[in-house]
Amino acid sequence: MLEDRLDTVRAWVREARHIAVLTGAGVSAESGVPTFRDAQTGYWAQFRAEDMATEAGFRSHPERVWNWYQHRRQLMDGVQPNAGHRALAQFQAAHPGRLTLITQNVDGLHQRVGSTGVLCLHGDLFADRWLDAPRDCCQLGEAVAGSPPTCRHCGNQVRPGVVWFGEMLPLAVFEAAERATQDCELMLVVGTAGAVYPAAGLAHLARSAGARVVVLNPNPSELDGTADAVLRGTSASLLPGLLAG
C-alpha cells in the first residue's frame, strides 16, 4: 500500500542525519519541461541523442544543435518551479546541512526556488563556453552573434555549457556528489530513468555504503531494483508530504 510505504519513508526521512537527493528530468515535468525518455513527449522520442547531445553532433550540425539549446533556454522563460522543487528547498532551509541536492537537470529550477549547494552533474543550460580550448582572443562577451556565436578573431564556436554524452562530468562536482552519497543515510532518487552513468551509479554507491535508497517515480526505472522502497507517484505530489515537518 502506498500510504504504508509513505509512512515508512517519512520515518526514514525523520531519522536520517544526512539525506542525499538525486533528481532527474521528471522533477521538472510538472513544470512543463519535457523529459528525455518519456515515450511520447521525451526529447529522445523526437531527436537522436547522438545528434543533439554529443560534441560530434555539434561539430557536424552546429546551427541545428545551437538552435535546439536556444529553444530550450527560451522555453524556460515561461516555466515555474513546482511543489517538488519547493519541498526540497524548504527542507534545506528548515534543516540546514541535512540535505544535499544532486541533480542531472540543467534547467536551474532547483536554484530558482532557493535550493542551496546544488551539485549540477550535467552543467547549466544557460552557460556558454568555447567549443575548442579558448585562445587569448576568445572572449565570450565579445563573440560575434550567430548560430552559434563565434570568436571574431579565430572563429572558435560557442557551445552550451552542458555535459554531453562521452564527456567528463565536472570533476569537483562529481567528487562532491560521491562524498555526499557515501555520507548519507538515505538517498531519494527522484524523477530519473536511471539510465545514464555515472549519475545513476550514485544510487548503487549509496546502497553499497549502507544508505537506504528510495525511488520516487510514476513509472518503472532502472534503479527500482536497487531501492529499499519504490514510491509510484509524481515528485510534486510525493515530495511535499515526505519532507514536511
Take residue 74 and report the three cell numbers written for it: 527560451
Q: Report, in Å, the least distance between residue 34 CB and ligand OAD.
A: 8
CA-nearest of 54, 118, 110 to 83 is: 110
Residues that contact ligand OAD, how many (by CB under 6 A): 28
Distance of CA 225 to the CA centre of its chain: 21
Selected catalytic residue, list 61, 71, 95, 122: 122
- The verdict on 72 binding ligand OAD (CB under 6 A) reads no
State the nearest-atom distance from the C-beta of 224 to ligand OAD, in Å: 10
Binding-site member from 111, 115, 181, 192 for ligand OAD (CB under 6 A): 192
* CB atoms inside a 10 Å sphere around CB 133: 7
Q: Scanning residues 25 to 54, which ones bind ligand OAD (CB under 6 A)?
A: 25-26, 29-30, 35-38, 42, 49, 53
Asked about 122 being catalytic, the answer comes back as yes
Residue with the shortest CB distance to ligand OAD: 26
Q: Nearest-CA neighbor of 92 among 166, 196, 18, 186?
A: 18
For residue 78, the 8-state DSSP code is: G
Rounded to whole angstroms, how far apart are CA atoms 213 and 230? 9
Q: Does residue 122 interact with ligand OAD by CB under 6 A?
A: yes
| Residue list, annotated binding site | 69, 72, 104-107, 217-219, 235
3-state secondary structure of 34: coil
Residue where the block lists cell 544532486: 102
Nearest-angstrom CA–CA distance, 216 and 52 = 28
Q: By CB under 6 A, tell whether 159 contacts ligand OAD.
A: no
Task: Give the CA count within 13 Å in the CB-facing half-sphere of 2.
Answer: 12
Q: Is 81 in the site for ligand OAD (CB under 6 A)?
A: no
Nearer to ligand OAD, 43 or 130 (CB): 43
Kindly state whether residue 164 participates in binding ligand OAD, applying the rule CB under 6 A. yes
- Catalytic residue positions, numbered: 122
Binding site for ligand OAD (CB under 6 A): 24-26, 29-30, 35-38, 42, 49, 53, 104, 122, 163-165, 191-193, 195-196, 217-219, 221, 234-235
